[in-house]
Structure formats: structure tokens, C-alpha cells
Amino acid sequence: MVSPKLLIDSSNPTTLLNSLFTHRQPTFLHSRNFQQPSRTLNTIRASALNRRDFIADTAATAAALSLSPVIGLNSSSVARADTLSEWERVYLPIDPGVVLLDIAFVPDDPSHGFLLGTRQTLLETKDGGSTWVSRSISSAEDEDFNYRFNAISFKGKEGWIVGKPAILLHTSDAGDSWERIPLSAELPGDMVYIKATGEKSAEMVTDEGAIYVTANRGYNWKAAVQETVSATLNRTVSSGISGASYYTGTFNTVNRSPEGNYVAVSSRGNFYLTWEPGQPYWQPHNRAVARRIQNMGWRADGGLWLLVRGGGLYLSKGTGITEEFEEIPVQSRGFGILDVGYRSKEEAWAAGGSGVLLKTTNSGKSWSRDKAADNIAANLYSVKFINDKQGFVLGNDGVLLKYLG
């Protein structure tokens, strides 16, 4: 088992979980405000383009971006939307090669949101995602690191960001200023997910299966599980979990349900794990399919979806945690499907490699392919619906699609 020193609340004896955690009393870093952008983005909306015009326009835009040595606060920005059926592409003021990883909006102001990615990418919108400007965090730029911002979450005006190398940021004013929360260097694994759960409260997960909760704006944290996943597997490897002996100790993906349940895929994709609030350990499960798992998540009705390498999509039988799945035929063209996002119980979208974009309107029983997205030469990693009218698809090379409805 791992012994991190992650800001543990020593006043609560229940946090001393089998000597997994040791006490540490942190101090707050002084809050530092974001640098304000020097200009706003101009929106250039294109009329319907045919295939040839679309390709030519995309190539010209890429060439223009490549001529700018620095694309940021002081450079000319490009914000252009190309209609893709029910989606439009929004061009961003970022360097080529950036992979977008997460997006979140302030609940009280759905027009105000933030977009994260690799290469310390942080963008802000105040018009619902039609235009974006670059933002910077002075406390992060003072160091010789190029952070990968993995996840962001808001509850009210309070927001949280986690990244790699280990960085934790908190805001209490809807992102006008951010405070950096110090963390132990012995934190087990990289922070890959965070969820704002209430006033001053959040839940954080690392890729080694550690789950921590705070109720005082990150001043101290306590563990929600008694051990990392590696330790759990060492105890349960004889229980028949296929492939556990090849486990590398990290998650490939992790997703949380609205009820607080988690499902995570092992880094090799040979099995998956689940956790429900109150359980002391992660529960490993054999995969019910032949191919390795790419990603898993929760449907709007409380069931599970499962993606396998090579483009296969499976839905669980019934709701809740189960090992019974049935395959659903999809037109993935052999490219991997990487994520699924639900707009409602009936409508969902799946996205994947080489611009694969699929839609269902009957709770996943059948899927149709949006062929217009084939023109986008990028992998689409994440589908996020903020509400039934606001959704986004995130990809590599700075690709962002905005739902039109």
C-alpha cells in the first residue's frame, strides 16, 4: 500500500485508514489573479461550405496559424464556425497540436465557461462557447513546467482544476481569480478527475485509485478508500480477475455518475473497476467482451456503456453496476470510439478517431453516423453536454465542436 501525505483532517479518526495516510497541515497560497486578455475574439461565421471549400478553408486557416509564432493573448485570433449537421466547429486561439481534455461552465451563468487541455491550455468564454480567449495562471507560469490540465468542475461560483505535474487550483469567484492549493509530493498517482460537490466541497481521484474529499475548500482532505487499486488487486488476484497480474497500477479512464458512483478502466483495458460511496475498496470486474476496453461511463438512465478497441460499443443490461453487456451495431468504419455523452435518456452522441461522430435517438438501440464530421482530420476524445441545449465535442489539434440543437 502507498503512504501519501495528502492534507488529512487529523480531527477525524475515521480518516486514519489502515495507516494509508499521514497528517500534514498545509497553508494556503495567496490568491493570484488571472492576467486579463488584451483583446476579444471576432466571430466569423461561414455559410454552408461544400466539401472542396471546407478543405480549402481549413488548410488556409492552418497555414495562417502556423505563421504566427505565438498564439495567445496578444495575437490575432481566429474564431470560425463550420456547420456539421447539428454541430459547428469553433476555431480557437491556441497552438496546433493541443489536445482538449475538459470543459465546464459556471452553473449560475451558462454563458461563462472554461476549456482545458495540454500545453497548459486554459481558455475562457463569456458567450456560451462561440468565442474563446486565452487565460493564464501566474502561479503556474512562474515554474518551469508545462502543465497538462486534466479536469475542471464548478458548483455555484466555486471551481476546481487539477493537472499534471500535480497541480490543484481553486476559485471562489467564478474563475476571476484562482488560488493554488499545495499538495504532497507523495500523492499516489496523477490527479485525473475532480468534482465540485457542494459549498467548499470537492471530490478528487488519482489514476492509482486514490479518492479524496474536502469540505473546507481544500484546506485538508480525507481518504474515501482505504488503499490504492494496486493494493486491492494484490489481495484479490486469486479471486479470478482475468489479467490482474498484468496490471500496471493506473487507470486509463475514470467516470463518475450523478449519484457519486465510479467506473474505471485498467490501463491495459483488460478489466474494469467500480466504486460506490461507502465502499472501502474498488471492486474489480472481468470484462464481458473479447476485445480490450477503451472507455466506460454512465448512461442517462443509470446503466453503463462500454467501448472496446476497434470501434465496438456495448450497453449494459439493465441499470446499475453489472458485468452483463450486449453489443450494439455501429458504423465506426473500424476507427475506435473514444467517448459517449448523453443529452437526454433517449439522445446520445459518440465520438472517436478520424472524426467519427455517431448519434442515437432511441436510448442506444441504433446509431447513425454524421458523415459531415468525416471532413475533420482529428480524433475526438470527449463528448460533454452541459444541459440539453448546450454540448461540446473535444478533440486533438484544438478541435472543438459546439452543439447547435
Are 153 and 101 within 8 A, CB to CB? no
Query: pLDDT at position 184, please?
Result: 81
Per-residue cell: 108? 449560475
Residues 6+ apart with CB under 8 A from 288: 314, 323, 324, 325
Per residue, the 3-state secondary structure of 330-394, as one string, reads: CCCCCCCEEEEEECCCCCEEEEEHHHCEEEECCCCCCCEECHHHHHCCCCEEEEEEEECCEEEEE
Query: pLDDT at position 36, please?
Result: 34
Q: How many residues appear in the chain?
A: 405
Query: pLDDT at position 237, please?
Result: 60
> 249: how many CB neighbours lie within 10 A of its CB?
17
Q: Could you tell me the sign of the dihedral formed by the alpha carbons of 361, 362, 364, 366, in that order?
A: negative
Mean pLDDT per 10-residue section of the chain, whose length is 405 residues: 40 33 33 34 36 41 38 36 72 94 96 96 97 88 82 97 94 94 87 96 96 93 91 69 59 95 94 94 90 96 95 92 92 87 97 92 93 83 96 95 91
Detail the DSSP E strand segments found in 156-245.
Answer: 158-164, 167-171, 177-181, 191-198, 201-206, 211-214, 222-223
Query: pLDDT at position 2, please?
Result: 40
Query: pLDDT at position 187, please?
Result: 87
Residues 6+ apart with CB under 8 A from 265: 251, 252, 253, 254, 272, 273, 293, 294, 295, 296
